[in-house]
């Protein structure tokens, strides 16, 4: 569509060029044509309105830009272009300017016919006639959408440049052209100090030339590099940063700049270290934990494969830690462990490892010992003895002075001999040997121990089956009074082993304790004994008999022990008044408060208590007084030597006297001869148990109990 020529609206202009001279006229027409062409072909859009703002003329550029044809635009008010974004006061200012005869310059965010928006920069001027009357406004407008977009981009870029990350822009020679505020905050150098320098300003000296060489190689190849780098702040502090370097290319594809963006990762690194520390160390002592020990052991075996030198593992367990922890409290227990850790660390060389596996278990790993096994063993022994001595000194525990001793198991290693698992087992086993050997001592692992372990492992599997397959039997051994009359029996468990025949409890009770199998086993014993007790009660001649049942530590301290025993009594109908539990000192000392609470609860049901093997343990009066016991059982070792060793006679006498002073009954076990019985009787003992009165025997020999023995 053809735009109308502006001349048609400009009557006054025609008159002005009216003249008699044809040349002038020609001139005038020519200039009008030129003017019209210029307006028509103008690269900017031109709009002419009447004084009210109604469009009278638009040029082709306007049509092109707005999408309105000249025909559609003419007669419309200029506000057809409005996007509604300009505020009323801005319009008021515009009108005030042009109405006062001046030109207004400004920008519009306008709307095309199709609804899309564009930016234009406008100059709007009033057009006056000869008399000075306002006849038009002329607006000359330029599309600045692209320029605005570019400006926006620049603004975004400038904001981004001032981000939290430190930024440097360098030229191709590495000379710094610009840095941002974060750069100053992180490095300490102001923009003035940095510009003109190269990033060498920040070199920490922690990386060699090869590092930087590889970095630039990468930048040249890929256009960018990123990674961790150590730099130096203005104040000299060296810090880690995460740096990304990007190449900037010009429009010809030539490198024009490099931009470096970096963040200070000191905090991040600290957190990482902290996490690593938590994962690999024991929080109480700060020593390496099991995980780290295994890791180091791995490395040690690898190193040993290379240098042929041997190493040693020392397994260290504190002998009385549990009792100490229970009696003094956990905070004191913790203090002790911390001091043990410190002493251990003092006993070793740099490069050796002390780790805490948990509880009171520590492991020391020695490396770089002799190639010769005998020499290596003696080196390990020297360290072991040193540890033994160091841990034997008393420990000051917040006002308390406390003693503790360790049991140490040692095993040597070299790469081709051992697996890690095997090594730990060997050291652990040797440590148990040290415990069995009287504690506060050191034992080396030897292959014979291994045989013991294998046998034990087999026994454990078999014992597990024994409980399930009904291979257990309960024997009963008579207990008599001073007149030899049967008063009751002690239940003694037996294992009817399919190959080995009858196995005695000494061979499997400790294992059952260790593995927890004592719980089902003990439960079975209680049920069987109570069933038997109920059966006796049903017959006149056995109704008065009591039943003594051995209860081991783990069983007694199980949280449900009291409830389970009550359930057994209820289930079997056995009379609790006739039930006696035999406890050992290890049971009592384990957790004194728990022991007392349970004894009191069971005593309330009528159950009585006998202290088994008395005289072999602590035999301390102070705790005896606190325990609601009924009977002391003099251990058979004293009875056995009663007539030969003068000491044992006096011990037996002391025990009996002690029991009497505490108001407790006394029974002697292991009485095999009348002479023994007579001595005991002369010392005041009133009850006996032993081969003299009967061997333990099965339930099938019950008649044995139905005819009370005559006094010999
Ligand atoms: P204990 O409770 O001190 O039992 C006495 C042990 O001495 C029994 O050995 C018994 O057979 C033995 N004995 C009895 N009279 C004589 C004698 O005149 N001379 C000699 N030399 N020995 C005699 P046993 O039956 O081998 O039991 C050993 C230990 O096993 C028991 O010692 C007890 O601590 C434990 N035990 C036995 N049965 C059970 C049970 O059902 N549960 C628990 N937890 N432990 C049990
Ligand atoms: Mg017993
Ligand atoms: Mg005993």
Residues 565, 609: Cα–Cα separation, whole Å: 14
So what's the pLDDT on residue 643? 83
| Residues 37, 5: Cα–Cα separation, whole Å | 9
Nearest atom in ligand 1 to 509's CA: 45
What confidence category does residue 452 fall into, taking pLDDT thresholds of 50, 70 and 90? low
Q: How far apart are CA 490 and CA 168, in angstroms?
A: 90
Ligand 1 contact via 528 beta carbon (within 6 Å): no
Is the C-beta atom of 610 inside 6 A of ligand 1? Answer: no
CA of 551 to the centre of ligand 2 (A): 8
The rounded distance, in Å, linking the Cα atoms of 143 and 110 is 10
Report how far residue 365's alpha carbon sits from residue 311's, in angstroms, rounded to the nearest whole number.
7
Please report which confidence band the pLDDT of residue 521 belongs to, taking 50, 70 and 90 as the band edges: very high
The number of the ligand nearest the C-alpha atom of 587 reads: 1
Which residues hold their Cβ within 5 A of ligand 2, which is an ion? 550, 582, 612
Question: Averaged over 109-120, what is the pLDDT?
Answer: 93
Gap from CA of 448 to ligand 1 centroid (Å): 28
Q: Of 165-169, 274-278, 360-364, 464-468, give the lowest mean pLDDT range.
A: 274-278
Of 93, 101, 98, 63, the C-alpha closest to 81 is 63
* Ligand 1 closest atom vs CA 551: 44
Q: Does residue 409 carry a pLDDT above 50?
A: yes
What is the Cα–Cα distance from 634 to 128, expressed in whole angstroms?
Answer: 135
CA distance 562 to 607: 11
Kindly state the DSSP code that residue 340 receives in the 8-state scheme: H
Residue minimizing CA distance to atom 8 of ligand 1: 492
CA 53 to chain centre: 76
Ligand 1 atom nearest 505 alpha carbon: 30
Nearest residue by C-alpha to atom 34 in ligand 1 = 550
The Cα 265–Cα 436 span in angstroms is 54
pLDDT at 700: 66
pLDDT in tens, 625-659: 888 999 999 999 889 888 876 666 777 888 888 88
For 241, the 3-state DSSP assignment is strand
How large is the average pLDDT for residues 393-415?
Answer: 90
Work out which ligand 1 atom sits closest to the CA atom of 493.
38
Q: Which of 338, 375, 380 has its CA nearest to residue 360?
A: 338
Ligand 1 lined by 489 (C-beta under 6 Å): no
Nearest ligand to the CA atom of 670: 1
pLDDT in tens, 81-102: 998 888 888 888 998 998 888 9
Question: CA 59 to CA 47: how far, in whole Å?
Answer: 7
How far does residue 530's CA lie from ligand 2's centre (Å)?
A: 16
Whether 12 shows a pLDDT value over 60: the answer reads no
How large is the average pLDDT for residues 319-341? 89
Task: Answer whether 641 contacts ligand 1 (Cβ < 6 A).
Answer: no
Asked if residue 403 has pLDDT above 80, the reply is yes
Please work out whether the CB of residue 670 comes within 6 Å of at least one atom of ligand 1. yes
Q: Quick check: 427 and 445 in contact, CB under 8 A?
A: yes
Confidence of residue 556 (pLDDT cuts 50, 70, 90): very high
What gap in Å lies between CA 138 and CA 125, rounded to an integer?
5
Q: What is the pLDDT of residue 245?
A: 94
Tell me the chain's radius of gyration from C-alpha atoms: 51
For the Cβ of 585 lying below 6 angstroms from any atom of ligand 1, the answer is: no
Q: CA end-to-end span of the chain, whole Å? A: 145
Tell me which residue of 74, 50, 46, 72 sits closest to 59, measured CA to CA.
46
The CB of 550 under 6 Å from ligand 1? The reply is: yes
Q: What is the pLDDT of residue 15?
A: 47
Q: Which of 473, 491, 505 to mutate to test the pocket of ligand 1 (most atoms within 8 A of CB)?
A: 505
Ligand 1 pocket check for 635: Cβ under 6 Å: no
Per DSSP, the three-state class of 95 is helix
| C-alpha span between 430 and 411 (Å, rounded) | 8
Q: For residue range 565-580, list pLDDT tens digits in order.
A: 999 999 999 999 999 9
pLDDT at 2 over 60: no
Atom of ligand 1 nearest to the CA of 584: 34
Confidence of residue 708 (pLDDT cuts 50, 70, 90): very low
Domains of the chain with CATH codes: 42-146 (3.30.450.20), 162-270 (3.30.450.20), 285-442 (3.30.70.270), 471-701 (3.20.20.450)
The CB of 493 under 6 Å from ligand 1? The reply is yes
Pairing of strands 665-668, 687-688: parallel
Q: What is the residue whose two structure tokens read 């006993």?
A: 347
CA distance 500 to 57: 122
What is the distance between the alpha carbons of residues 326 and 507, in angstroms, rounded to a whole number? Answer: 29
Nearest to 384 by CA among 325, 331, 445: 445
Kindly indicate the confidence band of residue 352, based on its pLDDT and cuts at 50, 70 and 90. very high
Nearest ligand atom owner, CA of 548: 2
pLDDT band at 48 (very low <50, low <70, confident <90, very high): very high
332 contacts 381 by C-beta, under 8 angstroms: no
Question: What are the Cα distances from residue 35, in Å, to 29, 244, 409, 562, 657?
Answer: 10, 58, 111, 116, 140
Q: Which ligand is nearest to the CA of 633?
A: 3
Lowest mean per-residue pLDDT among 29-33, 158-162, 305-309, 580-584 = 158-162
Indicate if ligand 1 lies below 6 Å from the C-beta of 502: no
Report the pLDDT value the prediction gives residue 588, as an integer from 0 to 100.
81
Q: Closest ligand 1 atom to the C-alpha of 518? A: 44
Task: Work out the pLDDT band at 339, boundaries 50, 70, 90.
Answer: very high
Q: Provide the b/e sequence for 512-546 (b: ≥16 CB within 10 Å).
A: bbeeebbbebbbebbbbbbbbbbebbeeeebeebb
What gap in Å lies between CA 163 and CA 143, rounded to an integer?
Answer: 32
Three-class secondary structure of residue 516 per DSSP: coil
Mean pLDDT score of the chain, rounded to an integer?
A: 88
State in Å: Cα 429 to ligand 3 middle: 28
Taking the C-alpha atoms of residue 55 and residue 82, their distance in angstroms, rounded to an integer, is: 14
585 C-alpha to center of ligand 3: Å?
11
Q: Does the pLDDT at position 9 exceed 70? A: no
User: What is the dihedral angle through the alpha carbons of 605, 608, 613, 618, rounded to the nearest 10 degrees?
Assistant: 70
The rounded Å distance from CA 588 to ligand 3 centre is 15
- Assess whether pLDDT exceeds 80 at residue 194: yes
Cβ atoms of residues 636 and 667 within 8 Å:
no
Q: Which helix (H) or strand (E) holds 501?
A: strand 501-503
Query: DSSP readout, 522-558?
Result: HHHHHHHHHHHHHHHHTSGGGTT-EEEEE--HHHHTS
Return the pLDDT at 8. Answer: 42
pLDDT of residue 346: 94
User: Looking at the predicted structure, is the pLDDT value of residue 514 above 60?
Assistant: yes
Considering only the C-alpha atoms of the chain, give the largest distance between any 2 of them, rounded to a whole number of Å: 175
Shortest-distance ligand to the CA of residue 639: 1
| pLDDT value of residue 4 | 45
In ligand 1, which atom is closest to the CA atom of 671? 18
Nearest CA residue ID for atom 43, ligand 1: 550
226-285: pLDDT as tens digits: 999 999 999 999 999 999 999 999 888 899 999 999 999 888 888 877 777 778 889 899
pLDDT at res. 421: 86
- List strand residue ranges (DSSP E) for 200-322, in order: 224-232, 238-249, 255-264, 310-318
Task: Label residue 618 by pLDDT band (50, 70, 90).
Answer: low
Number of other CB atoms surrounding residue 659 within 10 Å: 23
Q: Does residue 537 register a pLDDT over 80?
A: yes
CA distance 121 to 105: 8
User: What average pLDDT does the segment 337-344 reach?
Assistant: 96
Candidates 481, 397, 464; CA nearest to 711 is: 481
């Amino acid at each position: 569509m053809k735009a109308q020529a502006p001349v048609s609206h400009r009557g006054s202009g025609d008159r002005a060029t009216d003249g008699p001279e044809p040349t002038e006229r020609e001139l005038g027409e020519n200039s009008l044509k030129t003017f019209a062409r210029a307006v028509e072909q103008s690269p900017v859009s031109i709009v002419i309105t009447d004084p009210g703002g109604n469009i009278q003329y638009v040029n082709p550029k306007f049509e092109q830009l707005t999408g309105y044809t000249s025909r559609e635009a003419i007669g419309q008010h200029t506000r057809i272009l409005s996007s509604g974004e300009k505020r009323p006061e801005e319009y008021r200012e515009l009108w005030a300017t042009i109405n006062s005869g001046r030109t207004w310059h400004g920008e519009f965010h306008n709307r095309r016919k199709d609804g899309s928006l564009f930016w234009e920069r406008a100059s709007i001027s009033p057009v006056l006639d000869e008399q000075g009357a306002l006849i038009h406004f002329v607006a000359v407008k330029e599309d600045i959408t692209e320029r605005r977009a570019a400006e926006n981009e620049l603004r975004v870029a400038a904001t981004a440049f001032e981000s939290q990350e430190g930024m440097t822009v360098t030229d191709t020679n590495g000379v710094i052209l610009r840095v941002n505020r974060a750069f100053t905050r992180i490095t300490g150098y102001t923009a003035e100090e940095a510009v003109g320098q190269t990033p060498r300003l920040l070199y920490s000296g922690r990386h060699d030339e090869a590092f930087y060489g590889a970095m630039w190689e990468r930048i040249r190849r890929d256009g960018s590099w990123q990674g961790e780098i150590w730099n130096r702040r203005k104040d000299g502090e060296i810090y880690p940063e995460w740096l990304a370097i990007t190449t900037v290319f010009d429009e010809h594809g030539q490198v024009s700049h490099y931009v470096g963006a970096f963040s200070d990762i000191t905090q991040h690194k600290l957190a990482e270290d902290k996490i690593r520390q938590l994962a690999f160390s024991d929080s109480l002592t700060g020593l390496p934990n099991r995980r780290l020990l295994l890791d180091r052991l791995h490395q040690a075996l690898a190193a040993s494969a290379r240098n042929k030198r041997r190493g040693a593992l020392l397994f260290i367990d504190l002998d009385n830690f549990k009792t100490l922890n229970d009696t003094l409290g956990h905070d004191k227990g913790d203090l002790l462990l911390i001091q043990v850790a410190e002493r251990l660390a003092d006993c070793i060389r740099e490069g050796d490892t002390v780790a805490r596996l948990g509880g009171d278990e520590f492991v020391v790993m020695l490396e770089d010992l002799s190639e010769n096994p005998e020499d290596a063993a003696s080196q390990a022994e020297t360290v072991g003895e040193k540890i033994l001595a160091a841990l034997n000194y008393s420990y000051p525990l917040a006002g308390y002075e406390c003693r503790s001793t360790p049991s140490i198991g040692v095993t040597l290693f070299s790469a081709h001999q051992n697996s890690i698992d095997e090594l730990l087992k060997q050291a652990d086993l040797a440590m148990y040997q040290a415990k069995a050997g009287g504690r506060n001592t050191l034992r080396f692992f030897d292959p014979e121990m291994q045989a013991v372990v294998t046998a034990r492992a087999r026994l454990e599997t078999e014992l597990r089956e024994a409980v399930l397959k009904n291979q257990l039997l309960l024997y009963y051994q008579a207990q008599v009074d001073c007149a030899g009359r049967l008063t009751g029996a002690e239940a003694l468990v037996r294992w009817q082993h399919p190959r080995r025949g009858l196995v005695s409890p000494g061979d499997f009770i400790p294992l059952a304790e260790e593995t927890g199998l004592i719980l089902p086993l003990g439960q079975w014993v209680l049920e069987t004994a109570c069933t038997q007790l109920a059966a006796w009660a049903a017959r006149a001649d056995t109704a008065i008999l009591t039943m003594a049942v051995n209860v081991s530590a783990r069983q007694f301290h199980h949280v449900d022990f009291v409830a389970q025993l009550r359930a057994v009594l209820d289930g079997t109908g056995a009379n609790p008044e006739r039930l006696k539990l035999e406890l050992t000192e290890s049971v009592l000392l384990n957790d004194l408060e728990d022991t007392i609470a349970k004894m009191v609860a069971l005593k309330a049901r009528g159950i009585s208590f006998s202290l088994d093997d008395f005289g072999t343990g602590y035999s301390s009066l102070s705790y005896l007084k606190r325990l609601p016991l009924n009977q002391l059982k003099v251990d058979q070792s004293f009875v056995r030597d009663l007539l030969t060793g003068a000491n044992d006679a006096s011990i037996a006498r002391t025990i009996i006297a002690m029991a009497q002073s505490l108001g407790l009954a006394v029974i002697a076990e292991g009485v095999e001869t009348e002479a023994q019985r007579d001595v005991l009787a002369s010392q005041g003992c009133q009850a006996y148990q032993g081969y003299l009165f009967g061997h333990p025997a099965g339930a099938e020999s019950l008649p044995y109990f139905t005819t009370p023995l005559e006094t010999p």
